[in-house]
Chain A
Amino acid sequence: MKLKELESWLTRCEGFKKPKVKLEQYATSSHVAARMLYAAQENIEGASVCDLGSGCGILSIGSVLLGAQYVCGIEVDLDAINIALENYDEFFDEDDEPSPLDFINAELTISEGDNEDCCSRFNSTFDVVVMNPPFGTKNNAGIDYAFLQRALKLVHPGGRVYTLHKSSTRDFFKKKLTKSIEEFGCAVKGEVLAEVRYELPKTYKFHKEKTLDIAVDFWCFQKQLGSDTN
């Protein structure tokens, strides 16, 4: 699918109705989502995809549009899942249309190291994780990195994680990559595919400026073959 076509489809996705500060909810714009998915396209078609922290589902739905065989959105907030399902119905309103998409309402133990959670059997199963994790700017420092650690467990060796992180954390992530076996339990390579200007709309009352323009890196991490310790 062409980038413009994908983006134009994705503009039909609605964002959060009442974003929750605690969960640092902000919708992924169709502009950014389309570029992420477009870059991942050849690995998404016919593959299994996990959208970790799926929110309003734009990355999940985009993965379905690109021909994923199975898409699993994992999200702690049921209100967000319901918006995602409404969004999904915008595209696929016929009951008998193929639906590769499942949502799971769950909180993964992303910040507690090796503790198992309800999705641990999924480890080393997915071909691709696409995600737009919280940036960790509201009393949840480090959650962006914890999402990445969990995502890397979910993909099989050779699998890829496409994700967004604040550009200010780039050096920190690069440092972690140099000791990836000890940090992630497997050898991981990663590169910044693009730097995007990310416009955070004035979603929350505490945002003084009308919009907050921040620099965000679009990363692709790949779990290396023969390095699985899950």
Chain B
Amino acid sequence: MKLFTHNMLTSKMIKNVKVGYPLKLNAAEVKVTPSEFRSTYVSRMLPKIDWGVLYEATQSIGHAEAIPSSISDDYEKNEDFLRKAHHALFEIEVINGEMICPETGRKFPIKDGIPNMLVNEDEVN
């Protein structure tokens, strides 16, 4: 599971959960796979990204040096920054671990790179 995907997932579907975001990320196994860098794509995606959540995710899975703590103001023109963002979003992958709902503590396992976001009928609204 890429950190881009983590940046998007929530536990909002659980009963009484107000925000369900961000999901706390614990990783037992992390892998880095290269992915083609296209600067225009990364700058197009950045407005959708919660940078603070991405930064926190890199910290929590042992890639503390991957990106700066705050987003660059001129990122569209800053290729070095875009490459780092690309690396964090699309190349660092959590293979095994879990995500935890910030409000209920409900755990969502990640196994073989696949996050399991399934919930039982009695857990949802």
Residues of A within 8 A of B (CB): 46-48, 69-70, 72, 76, 78, 81, 85, 95-100, 102-107, 109, 115-122, 125
Contact = CB atoms under 8 A, between A and B. Distances in A.
8 closest A-B pairs by beta carbon, nearest first, are A106-B117, A116-B12, A118-B117, A121-B8, A98-B35, A117-B13, A105-B116, A102-B5
Contacts of B41: 46-48, 69
B34 interface: yes
Given A109-B13, A120-B10, A120-B12, A104 B5 contact: yes
B20 to A, nearest CB: 8
A85 B117 CA distance: 18
Contacts of B119: 107
A96 to B, nearest CB: 6
Given A96-B33, A98-B36, A99-B35, A115 B5 contact: no
A102 B1 contact: yes
A109 B118 CA distance: 11
B121 to A, nearest CB: 10
B118 A76 contact: yes
A107 B115 CA distance: 12
A121 B90 contact: no
A70 B90 contact: yes
A48 B36 contact: no
Contacts of A118: 9-13, 117
A78 B116 contact: yes
Given A104-B115, A116-B12, 19 more contacts: A46-B41, A69-B36, A85-B112, A96-B34, A102-B5, A104-B1, A104-B114, A104-B117, A106-B117, A107-B119, A109-B13, A116-B10, A117-B12, A117-B13, A118-B10, A118-B11, A118-B13, A119-B8, A121-B21
Contacts of A104: 1, 5, 9, 114-115, 117
Interface string B7-50: 11111110000000100000000000111101001000100100
B34 A98 contact: yes
A115 B125 contact: yes
B2 interface: yes
A92 to B, nearest CB: 10
B55 interface: no
A78 B114 contact: yes
Nearest to B110: A105
Nearest to B89: A70
A115 B45 contact: no
A103 B9 CA distance: 12
Contacts of A95: 33
13 contacts: A46-B38, A85-B112, A97-B33, A104-B117, A106-B115, A106-B118, A115-B125, A121-B7, A121-B9, A121-B10, A122-B8, A125-B8, A125-B48
A72 B38 CA distance: 18
Contacts of B125: 115
Residue in B4, B5, B113, B117 whose Cβ sees the most chain A Cβ within 10 Å:
B117
B35 A100 contact: yes
Contacts of B1: 102, 104
A105 B119 CA distance: 10
A36 B79 CA distance: 35
Interface in B71-125: 90, 112-119, 124-125
